[in-house]
Chain A
Amino acid sequence: MTDINLNSLRNQPDERGRFGMHGGRFVAETLMPLILQVESAYKAAQSDAEFASELDYYQTHYVGRPSPLYFAERLTAHFGGAKLYLKRDELNHTGAHKINNVLGQALLAKRMGKTRIIAETGAGQHGVATATACALFDMECEVFMGEEDVRRQKPNVDRMRLLGAKVHPVTSGTGTLKDAMNEALRYWVANAETHFYIIGTVAGPHPYPQMVRDFQSVIGREARQQIMDAEGRLPDTIVACIGGGSNAMGLFHPFLDDESVRIIGVEAAGKGIPSGLHAASLTGGTPGVLHGNRTYLLQDDDGQIIDAHSISAGLDYPGIGPEHSWLHDMKRVEYVSATDEEALDAFQLCSRLEGIIPALEPSHALAFVGTIIGDMDRDQILILNMCGRGDKDLGAVLPMLEERGKL
């Protein structure tokens, strides 16, 4: 018996970094030698028990893994349907799932002898996680962040500065995540020999989508074990929000071969898909090539990228990880969306009913869960990835709730 199951959905990508037609390595030649170095270093690390045990050590003692799988009793009662479990990755050190991946890549950079780190960030969670790891491992850290995001996520900017990182506000384009990624790539091109780029989501050139997914899959592996322990069976449905899609890929991947599990990714519909002001690349986009990979993108019929819109800086990206695009094409995962307003309501609901202030990102997932969970049977189980906490969003959310007379 071989340990490769040819029918498995968990063996992607191929050696060219392709997930079906998606993925690949669409980068400038200056970066190619580096990407190849990262790939071979990652391959070596994967088969090195010492790498795994070092990562495991920090996940346990520094991040606080495993994160709990919490039965959300009051939300369950409120919706009146299936049992809702929250995978509490918002309890991780730094307040989101981003640290799972950052520690893996920072340890890889260390193995490669690189001590200078670049990162892009949208909501600032990946930037904070990267700044944290750089403090921990004594590395230099430079974070690229759109100036619009610098404004709406100020607490995270302050945290990064306190942790010793240099934050570069990016003014090109709309000053959001897409532009931050362009600028980080430009900076990397100029500093290719000395710097390691820690990409924050399951996108970019191969091997990043695979590597980030592998590091985030700890979420799904734990959840799978935890639900077996708690309920003695697999969940019926699992749900996560999607910007680039790293928390979702991390939850989904260990469940991809479990045919009985319905998997749902929730994109940001912004002001509504018909308005054109959204960040739903799968629902409202077409395949194209950006930031090193082929994937679904928001773009016009000339192939120019259209700016995304979302209340959530972390979902405000006109693309999506290539593995999601592949799972969308083959219909293994359902991709749906929730609007800014729906996410705001869910943000408040979760705070009031569970005493958990969610980030705006998973609030989108919870908003969608609210539309299906009431119709599920009471003995069914739904797991939602609570991938980040909402402290960072208070500055943006409170005025909106007040304006709407909801506070």
Chain B
Amino acid sequence: MTSRIEAAFARARAEDRGVLGVFVSAGDPDRETSGAILDALVEAKVDMIELGMPFSDPMADGPAIQAASLRALKGGMTLAGTLEMARAFRTHHPDTPLVLMGYYNPIYIYGVEAFLADAVAAGVDGLIVVDLPPEEDDELYLPAREAGLDFIRLVTPTSDAVRLPVVLGTASGFVYYVAITGITGTRSAAADSISAAYSRISAATDLPIVTGFGIRTPEQAGEAASLSDGAVIGSAIVDIIADNLGDDGRGTPETVSKIAAFVGELASGVAAAGRRG
């Protein structure tokens, strides 16, 4: 059976372009607006959604996503709430892949078994858990694969010839190339470094490779998506939320419409760039 993730990459390939993935924190800035944002992303032709599981101490994230996480938590978001949002999303959007992204502790406290059962039931396709390297595979990776979820590995500029096979050996779904040595949203990678990384990683895996961290504009998204198999944009989206809050700290109709407009530009940027890889 073809997974939603595989199907999304196949659709993009058929259109001769990379995939466009977008990251938002579940419940940012409030649950209702967050749900509306997810709907708007699908409408704006996002290929894949990474839904952040808010955590109080996101140690791989820059200021934008830290703030998003805290807004969501302040608005009462929990891991149970995130799973509920995923379930609601899936009832309306049968085809868009949904990947949960975050840190291990909330999952550990929820209980790995219960989390996996609820994630599968909610229609989640994969997991990205930043602080679980292959050395800790028995914590979540093995049971997640058993439960049928893809477990997406992060490859970084520090992944050398020794490390790459360790990371890719058990990767599934797709590979997330962290284009910069750094935290989310802080700086951008040069085109030639993405190209070089793409050749290095694709020589070691058959999985599609998406590029993320530090992509902020439609041009950068197009470039990254064309040089690899897709691009993920997070901080730039989350910044729009931060800049369009009501006086009560909740979302406004503008929050959603501005994100929709920006994501439309990203999608055009990715489509226009085609594929050079």
Instruction: Enumerate chain A interface residues (CB-CB to B < 8 A).
Output: 16, 24-34, 172-173, 178, 182, 185-186, 189-193, 286, 288-292, 294, 297, 299, 301-305
Contact stretch, chosen from B7-15, B158-166, B246-254: B158-166
Cβ 8 A contact of A25, one of B130, B135, B181: B135
B154 — which chain A residues lie within 8 A by C-beta? 28-30
The distance from the CB of A118 to the nearest CB of chain B, in whole angstroms, is 14
B153 — which chain A residues lie within 8 A by C-beta? 29
B108 — which chain A residues lie within 8 A by C-beta? 288-289, 294, 303
Q: Are B133 and A299 in contact (CB under 8 A)?
A: no
Cβ 8 A contact of B181, one of A16, A32, A192, A290: A192
Q: How far, in whole Å, are A288 and B61 apart by their CA atoms in the complex? A: 20
Q: CB within 8 Å of A: which of B165-224?
A: 167, 178, 180-183, 186
A299 — which chain B residues lie within 8 A by C-beta? 105, 109
Q: B261 an interface residue at 8 Å Cβ cutoff?
A: no
Q: Are A26 and B132 in contact (CB under 8 A)?
A: yes
Cβ 8 A contact of A182, one of B59, B109, B157, B182: B59
Q: How far, in whole Å, are A173 and B62 apart by their CA atoms in the complex? A: 13
The distance from the CB of B135 to the nearest CB of chain A, in whole angstroms, is 5
A29 — which chain B residues lie within 8 A by C-beta? 133, 153-156, 158-159, 167, 178
Q: Are A302 and B178 in contact (CB under 8 A)?
A: no
Q: Are B60 and A302 in contact (CB under 8 A)?
A: no
B109 — which chain A residues lie within 8 A by C-beta? 286, 288, 299, 301-303
Cβ 8 A contact of B158, one of A33, A186, A294: A33
A190 — which chain B residues lie within 8 A by C-beta? 180-183, 186
Closest to A294 in B: B108
Closest to A288 in B: B105
A selection of 8 A-B contacts at a CB cut-off of 8 Å is A28-B59, A30-B157, A32-B135, A186-B60, A191-B181, A303-B79, A304-B55, A305-B57
B73 — which chain A residues lie within 8 A by C-beta? 304
B62 — which chain A residues lie within 8 A by C-beta? 186
The distance from the CB of B172 to the nearest CB of chain A, in whole angstroms, is 15
B162 — which chain A residues lie within 8 A by C-beta? 33
Contacts A28-B60, A28-B131, A30-B181; is A303 near B158 (CB within 8 Å)? Answer: no
B180 — which chain A residues lie within 8 A by C-beta? 190
A186 — which chain B residues lie within 8 A by C-beta? 59-62, 183
| Known contacts A34-B158, A290-B105, A303-B108; 11 further A-B pairs (Cβ under 8 A) | A25-B133, A26-B131, A26-B136, A28-B156, A29-B155, A32-B163, A173-B57, A178-B57, A190-B186, A301-B109, A305-B57
Closest to A34 in B: B158
Cβ 8 A contact of A189, one of B78, B155, B181: B181
Q: Are A303 and B106 in contact (CB under 8 A)?
A: yes
Closest to A29 in B: B154
The distance from the CB of B165 to the nearest CB of chain A, in whole angstroms, is 13
Q: CB within 8 Å of A: which of B109-151?
A: 109-110, 130-133, 135-136
Q: B107 an interface residue at 8 Å Cβ cutoff?
A: yes
Q: B34 an interface residue at 8 Å Cβ cutoff?
A: no
Q: How far, in whole Å, are A289 and B80 apart by their CA atoms in the complex? A: 18
B156 — which chain A residues lie within 8 A by C-beta? 28-30
Q: Are A303 and B183 in contact (CB under 8 A)?
A: no
The distance from the CB of A286 to the nearest CB of chain B, in whole angstroms, is 8
Q: How far, in whole Å, are A190 and B183 apart by their CA atoms in the complex? A: 6
Closest to A186 in B: B183
B130 — which chain A residues lie within 8 A by C-beta? 28
The distance from the CB of A318 to the nearest CB of chain B, in whole angstroms, is 9
A25 — which chain B residues lie within 8 A by C-beta? 133, 135-136
Task: Choose among B59, B167, B186 the residue with the greatest number of A CB atoms under 10 Å from its CB.
Answer: B59
Q: Are B60 and A193 in contact (CB under 8 A)?
A: no
The distance from the CB of A187 to the nearest CB of chain B, in whole angstroms, is 9
Q: B262 an interface residue at 8 Å Cβ cutoff?
A: no
Cβ 8 A contact of A24, one of B136, B163, B181, B186: B136
Q: Are A303 and B135 in contact (CB under 8 A)?
A: no
Task: Choose among B63, B107, B157, B181 the residue with the greatest number of A CB atoms under 10 Å from its CB.
Answer: B181
Closest to B162 in A: A33
Contacts A26-B136, A30-B181, A172-B66; is A302 near B158 (CB within 8 Å)? Answer: no
Q: How far, in whole Å, are A395 and B82 apart by their CA atoms in the complex? A: 45
The distance from the CB of A114 to the nearest CB of chain B, in whole angstroms, is 14
B78 — which chain A residues lie within 8 A by C-beta? 302
B135 — which chain A residues lie within 8 A by C-beta? 16, 24-25, 32
Closest to A307 in B: B56
Cβ 8 A contact of B79, one of A24, A173, A288, A302: A302
Q: How far, in whole Å, are A182 and B66 apart by their CA atoms in the complex? A: 11
Q: CB within 8 Å of A: which of B48-84?
A: 55-57, 59-63, 66, 73, 78-80
Q: How far, in whole Å, are A191 and B181 apart by their CA atoms in the complex? A: 7
B103 — which chain A residues lie within 8 A by C-beta? 289
Task: Choose among B108, B109, B156, B167 the residue with the greatest number of A CB atoms under 10 Å from its CB.
Answer: B109
| Among all A-B residue pairs, the 6 with the closest Cβ atoms | A303-B109, A303-B106, A190-B182, A304-B56, A30-B156, A302-B78
Q: How far, in whole Å, are A178 and B132 apart by their CA atoms in the complex? A: 20
Task: Choose among B73, B132, B133, B186 the residue with the greatest number of A CB atoms under 10 Å from its CB.
Answer: B133
The distance from the CB of A94 to the nearest CB of chain B, in whole angstroms, is 28
Q: How far, in whole Å, are A224 and B167 apart by their CA atoms in the complex? A: 45
Closest to A178 in B: B57
Q: How far, in whole Å, are A32 and B156 apart by their CA atoms in the complex? A: 10
The distance from the CB of A190 to the nearest CB of chain B, in whole angstroms, is 4
Task: Choose among A192, A288, A299, A303 the residue with the greatest number of B CB atoms under 10 Å from its CB.
Answer: A303
A31 — which chain B residues lie within 8 A by C-beta? 158
The distance from the CB of B21 to the nearest CB of chain A, in whole angstroms, is 18
Contacts A186-B62, A302-B109; is A30 near B158 (CB within 8 Å)? Answer: yes
Q: How far, in whole Å, are A292 and B157 apart by their CA atoms in the complex? A: 20
A32 — which chain B residues lie within 8 A by C-beta? 133, 135, 158, 163
Q: Are B181 and A185 in contact (CB under 8 A)?
A: no
Q: How far, in whole Å, are A9 and B227 apart by their CA atoms in the complex? A: 53
Q: How far, in whole Å, are A161 and B154 apart by their CA atoms in the complex? A: 37
Closest to A16 in B: B135
Q: How far, in whole Å, are A28 and B59 apart by their CA atoms in the complex? A: 8
Task: Choose among A27, A191, A289 the residue with the greatest number of B CB atoms under 10 Å from its CB.
Answer: A289
